[in-house]
Chains A and B, each alone.
Chain A
Amino acid sequence: MNKKLAGYAALFVGIALLPALGAYPVFVMKVLCYALFACAFNLLVGFTGLLSFGHAAFLGTAGYVCGHALKIWGLPTPVGLLLGMGGAAVVGLVFGLLAIRRSGIYFSMITLALAQMLYFFFLQAPFTGGEDGLQSVPRGSFLGLHLENDLTLYYVVLAIFIAAFWLIYRIVHSPFGQVLTSIRENEARATSLGYDTAHFKLLAFVLSAALAGLAGATKTLVLGFATLTDAIWTTSGLVILMTLVGGMGTLVGPMVGALVIISLENKIGDLGNWLGDITGVAWFNSLGESVSLVTGLIFIVCVLAFRRGLVGEAMALLERKQKPAA
C-alpha cells in the first residue's frame, strides 16, 4: 500500500514540477481537467460497470453554471466552482433516477438520449450564449491568490485535482467502493446479499456526475469560457475513449488516457507535418484535418487488441514479471 501512495506522491510532485521543465501551463491544466473528467467517468464505468454515454451533460452543465456565476453574478471563484459541481450533481440525480431503472445497453442509450435533450436545451437557452458560448469568464481569486497569473492558477488547479483524486481513491477503497465493484461483477449476487443495488448505483452516478462537474467548472475557469462543445455527444465519446485508452478500472489509467488524447487533438497537425517531412508522403500533411479519423482508428485498435488500456496492460505486464512460471 505504501508503495502505491509513494508512487502517487511522486507522480503529483512530477506534475507540479512540469512548468519549471518548460511545459506550457495552460496545456497541462487542460489535460488535468480532462483527466479529472475521465477519472470521474471511470468511477462509474470502471468500478461500477455502468457505461454512461452522456457524461458530457455534466461537464457542460457545470461549465455554464460556474461561468454564469463568475461572470454574470460576480460570485467568488470557490463559490462558482461549488455551484458548478452542484448543478452537475442535480442533473446527475435527475438523469440517474431515469437511467438506473434499466441496465446494460439500455442504460447507455438512455444516458445518451437524456444528454442530447440537455444539449438541445443549451443550444436554445439564452443564458448559454448558444453557438457563441459563454465568453470572457473572469478568473477571480481563490483564497486570496490572484488567478490571472497562469502559474498561480496552475497550482490551484493541481490542488483541486489532487483533492478530487484523493476523494476517488478513498471511495474506491472504501466499503462503499467494494459494493460498487461487486455490482459490476455480479449484480444479482450483490442483491441477494441484501444490498439495495439501485441505491448504490444512483449514488455512484451522482458522485461521478458531481466530480465531472468539478472538472467542467475548473475547465471553464482555466480557459475562460463555456461552449456547446462541452455538452455535445462526441465529448461523451471522447471521455470514453480516454478511459479506454488509459485503462478502465485503474485509478491512474484515465489520467494517462486524457494526456494521450488531448495531446493528440492538439498536436496531430504537427505530428502529421513531421511524418510528412520524414516520409515524403504528402498525405500525412493533411492528417491535421483528420482528427476524427485517427480517433476512430484508435478506438478500433483499443477495443480489438488493447482492451485493458495503457495502464492496464502495463500492470498486467508487471504482474507477469513478478510471477515467474508458477
Chain B
Amino acid sequence: MKKTLIAATLAACGFSAQAQISGDVVKIGFLTDMSSVYADIDGAGGVEAIKMAIADLKGTAAGKKVEFIFADHQNKADVASAKAREWFDTQGVDMLVGGTNSGANLAMATVAAEKKKPFISIGAGSSALTNANCTPYTIHYAYDTVALANGTGGAVTKAGGKSWYFLTADYAFGAALQADTTAVVQKNGGTVKGSVKHPLNASDFSSFLLQAQGSGAQILGLANAGGDTINAVKAANEFGITKTMKLAGLLMFINDVHSLGLKTTEGMYLTDSWYWNQSPEARAWSRRFFEKMKRMPSSLQAADYSAVTHYLKAVDAAKTDDADKVVAKMKDTPIKDFYTTGTIRKEDGRGIHDMFLMQVKSAKESTEPWDYYKVVTRIPGEEAFTKLADSKCPLVKK
C-alpha cells in the first residue's frame, strides 16, 4: 500500500515514463474449487492454464515480474471472500480471477469492488454478476446462464425440438436455468409440457424420469449441473427415455461427457463457449494442456488462459496495474485468440462472444479420445447474452 503511494507521488513528480506497478510486481490471485464437485471442470487444470498464460508472456508485464498465487475455496463463499480480502489487504494482489461456484464469485466480486481491484469471473454461471450485482470492476468472461438458455433453448427449439419437459434441481440456480430457458423456448414458438423439481444431489432420478416420459415431450431439458446431470443422464438411458426424447443438458462440460461415456450421452445437446477441437489454434493449445494434465481442457480452463493473457496484455499496453486504467483497457481491447473472438461490454463487464450449440457424437463418429462434440449452430454473442436494454445493472444508464 505504501509503495503505491510512493510510486504515485514519484509519478506525479514527472516520473511518468516509469511503469507504475504497485509493489513492483504484478500479482494475480486465483480462487476456485479444487477438491469438491466442480474440481474437474476448472480446479487444478485452471491453475495450470493460468501458469501457461503467464509463461507464454515470459512472466513479465509492463517490464515487471508477474506472480501467481492460488487457493482452494472448497466451494465455500466465506472461504473465498475471506481469502480474497486477505490477499488484497496483505499480499498485494492486483487482480483476482474467480473459478467455479456462483456464490463464491458473487462474494469475491463484492470484495474486489470494495478494494477497487479488477475481478475476472470465469467459472461462475450466475448472470447476476453482470446484472443486479454488477460493479465497475467485475468482468464476467466466459459464459452465464442466460447464454446457455439462449443457446440450448433457442437453437434446439429452432431446430425442431418444440415441446419441452424440464427436470430441474430444486434451488435458485436450477429454477433460474428453467425460467430463462422456458422464456426462450416460448419466444421461438415452442411449448413447455411440464416440469418436475428434484432435490439437489439426488442419487435416484427414476421417479422423476418416469413422469417426464409420461409427458410425451420431445426434449428433456436438464436444468441441473454436475453430479445431478450425470446421474440423470445415466438413468435416462437405463429407462429407455433416450429412445423417445432427446436430452438437452443446460449446463454441461466436456468432463461430464467424459465421465459418462459416449454410449450414454450420444445425441445430447448442450451449449458451450469453446471446444478443444473446434479450430487448429484450439487444438494446438489443447495438446499443450494435455501434455501437462493428461486430459483435454474444458471451456473454463481455456477461458482462464485467455482472460489472464488479456489482462496482462492490457497491463502491458497501459503500462500500469492501476485497476481503473487496466479495466478500461481490457474493455477497450477486443479479444482475439484461440478461445474466442469478442469484446467486453463497457457498461456491465459482460464478455460478449459467440456461443456454440453442440451435439455429442456417437461412438462411431468419434475419431480419437475426447473427440466428443460436433458443432451444430453458432449463436452470435449479441443474441446469446443479456441485452443492455434488459439489464438490471444499476451502472447501465437507461
Mark A residues whose CB is within 8 Å of B.
24, 26-27, 30, 120, 123-124, 126, 129-133, 135-136, 219, 223-225, 227-230, 265-266, 269, 288-292
Contacts and interface: CB of A to CB of B under 8 A. Distances in A.
A291 B90 contact: no
A224 B82 CA distance: 10
Given A123-B171, A132-B102, A265-B79, 15 more contacts: A120-B199, A130-B173, A132-B103, A135-B106, A223-B78, A225-B81, A225-B107, A227-B77, A227-B78, A266-B83, A266-B86, A288-B71, A288-B72, A289-B72, A290-B35
A292 B34 CA distance: 12
A27 B72 contact: no
A131 B82 contact: no
A248 to B, nearest CB: 25
Contact residues of A: prevailing secondary structure: helix
25 contacts: A26-B85, A27-B82, A129-B103, A129-B172, A130-B171, A131-B102, A131-B171, A132-B106, A133-B77, A133-B103, A135-B106, A135-B107, A135-B110, A223-B78, A223-B82, A225-B78, A225-B81, A225-B107, A227-B78, A229-B76, A229-B79, A230-B78, A266-B79, A289-B39, A291-B72
Which 10 pairs show the lowest CB-CB distances between chains A and B? A130-B172, A227-B77, A289-B35, A229-B76, A132-B103, A289-B34, A133-B103, A130-B171, A135-B106, A133-B77
Given A123-B200, A131-B102, A291-B74, A223 B173 contact: no
Nearest to A148: B114
Contacts of B103: 129, 131-133, 227-228
Contacts of B81: 223-225
Contact of B171 (A30, A124, A266): A124
A312 to B, nearest CB: 29
Contact residues of B: prevailing secondary structure: helix
Given A27-B82, A227-B78, A229-B76, A135 B133 contact: yes
Kindly name the residue among A26, A131, A224 whose own CB sees the greatest number of chain B CB atoms within 10 A. Answer: A131
Kindly name the residue among B78, B126, B199 whose own CB sees the greatest number of chain A CB atoms within 10 A. Answer: B78
Contacts of A131: 102-103, 171-173
B67 interface: no
B324 interface: no
Given A123-B200, A133-B106, A288-B71, A266 B76 contact: no
A132 B89 contact: no
A239 to B, nearest CB: 14
Contacts of B126: 132
Contact of A26 (B82, B106, B199, B200): B82
Contact of A132 (B34, B172, B200): B172
Given A131-B172, A132-B102, A289-B44, A225 B82 contact: no
B128 interface: yes
Interface string B154-193: 0000000000000000111100000000000000000000
B82 A132 contact: no
Q: How large is the interface on B (under 10, 10 to 19, 20 to 34, 35 or more residues)?
A: 20 to 34
A269 B133 CA distance: 30
Contact of B170 (A124, A133, A229, A292): A124
Contacts of A289: 34-35, 39, 44, 72
Nearest to A228: B103
Interface in B80-121: 81-83, 85-86, 89-90, 102-103, 106-107, 110
B90 A24 contact: yes
Contacts of B82: 26-27, 30, 223, 266
Interface string B21-48: 0000000000000110001000010000
Contacts of B72: 269, 288-289, 291
B366 to A, nearest CB: 31
Nearest to B79: A265
Contacts of B79: 229, 265-266
B110 A225 contact: yes
B262 to A, nearest CB: 29
Contacts of B200: 123
Contacts of A290: 35
Contacts of A132: 77, 102-103, 106, 126, 128, 172-173
A289 to B, nearest CB: 4
Given A26-B85, A131-B102, A224 B76 contact: no
Contacts of A123: 170-171, 200
A27 B77 contact: no
Contacts of A224: 81, 107, 110
B69 to A, nearest CB: 9
